[in-house]
């Protein structure tokens, strides 16, 4: 008995393969050399028109200035709007050009408005509520440090409580050779204040510690501003609470920084500058600008 014709088998096999390939293509599969291959799943493409765009928050660009341009991804604070803090104008924090205990800053311009803040330590009998000046800081209208100094304790004065957990003051900060004398700091600050608008929070306490005074019409006190006293029902509000409610800014989380507090105070003034000036005009009237007298040149008669 003779076997099947090889040529017939070959041609039939080819026809069968062609039919199988056609069927597999119709079912979404392909074959190569008779071996089945699974169809690769299509990659899911994101719809670029779904309105979502990955963004970054710049927490230091609200007023066009920066104290280190730290950017954070949107997702770092969660996905809901309630879990994100609003951008803050010129965040009150340390910057690279600050010089702690550096005295008068060598490059920053002072300007018309300056904000003052002081740190105190305690003396006297328990609970040591008598204050002694320990650190003085001033910033300009843009929040740039213009002065910072630790202050030596008066001679023969015993400091009972450095209040380090809130003041950040350590014993060596007030030692001779590191801190400036009270007389020097007082003189420096008085010179900076002269002829300028002084901004502060409960500024009377700071001026009292410095044993200085300033014309009332040239003082802008954020603790006495009427709008800021609404939430506290007419009482002087805490700077920390004001910074949070008005600026969305967290300060005084641990050890205080008089530079940081001065910045926060200046930010509060910036936010309500128009209201502060209107309140000042109602209380003291429009400030008169004295015109400069010009000397008339004497005409000499020609002979």
Q: Any residues with CB less than 8 A from the CB of 73 and at least 6 apart, and which? A: 54, 56, 57
pLDDT in tens, 200-210: 999 999 999 99
Q: How confident is the model at residue 237 (pLDDT cuts 50, 70, 90)?
A: confident
State the Cα–Cα distance between residues 229 and 246, nearest whole angstrom. Answer: 12
Among the residue ranges 52-56, 98-102, 227-231, 262-266, the one predicted with the least confidence is 52-56
pLDDT in tens, 96-122: 667 999 999 999 999 999 999 999 999
pLDDT at position 96: 61
Choose among 128, 143, 145: nearest CA to 62. 143
Total-model pTM? 0.65
State the Cα–Cα distance between residues 70 and 55, nearest whole angstrom. Answer: 14
Q: Which residue has the higher pLDDT, 189 or 31?
A: 189
Domains annotated for the chain, with CATH where assigned, are 103-281 (3.30.420.10)
Q: How confident is the model at residue 218 (pLDDT cuts 50, 70, 90)?
A: very high
């Amino acid at each position: 008995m003779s076997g099947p014709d090889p040529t017939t088998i070959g041609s039939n096999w080819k026809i069968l393969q062609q039919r199988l390939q056609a069927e597999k293509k119709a079912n979404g599969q392909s074959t190569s050399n008779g071996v089945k291959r699974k169809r690769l799943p299509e990659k899911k493409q994101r719809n670029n028109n779904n309105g979502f765009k990955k963004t970054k928050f710049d927490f230091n660009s609200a007023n066009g200035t920066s104290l280190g341009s730290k950017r954070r991804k949107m997702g770092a604070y969660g996905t809901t709007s309630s879990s994100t803090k609003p951008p803050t104008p010129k965040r009150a924090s340390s910057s690279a050009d600050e010089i702690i205990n550096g005295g008068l800053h060598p490059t920053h311009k002072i300007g018309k408005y300056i904000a003052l803040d002081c740190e105190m330590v305690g003396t006297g009998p328990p609970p040591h509520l008598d204050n002694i000046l320990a650190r003085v800081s001033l910033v300009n209208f843009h929040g740039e440090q213009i002065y910072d100094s630790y202050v030596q304790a008066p001679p023969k004065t015993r400091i009972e409580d450095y209040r380090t957990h809130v003041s950040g003051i350590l014993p060596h900060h007030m030692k001779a050779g590191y801190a400036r004398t009270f007389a020097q700091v007082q003189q420096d600050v008085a010179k900076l204040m002269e002829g300028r608008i002084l901004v502060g929070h409960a500024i009377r306490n700071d001026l009292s510690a410095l044993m200085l005074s300033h014309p009332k019409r040239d003082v802008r006190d954020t603790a006495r501003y009427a709008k800021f006293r609404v939430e506290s029902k007419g009482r002087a509000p805490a700077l920390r609470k004001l910074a949070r409610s008005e600026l969305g800014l967290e300060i005084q989380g641990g050890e205080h920084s008089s530079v940081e507090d001065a910045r926060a105070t200046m930010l509060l003034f910036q936010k309500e500058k128009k209201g502060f000036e209107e309140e000042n005009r109602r209380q003291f009237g429009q400030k008169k600008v004295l015109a400069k007298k010009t000397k008339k040149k004497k005409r000499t008669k020609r002979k």
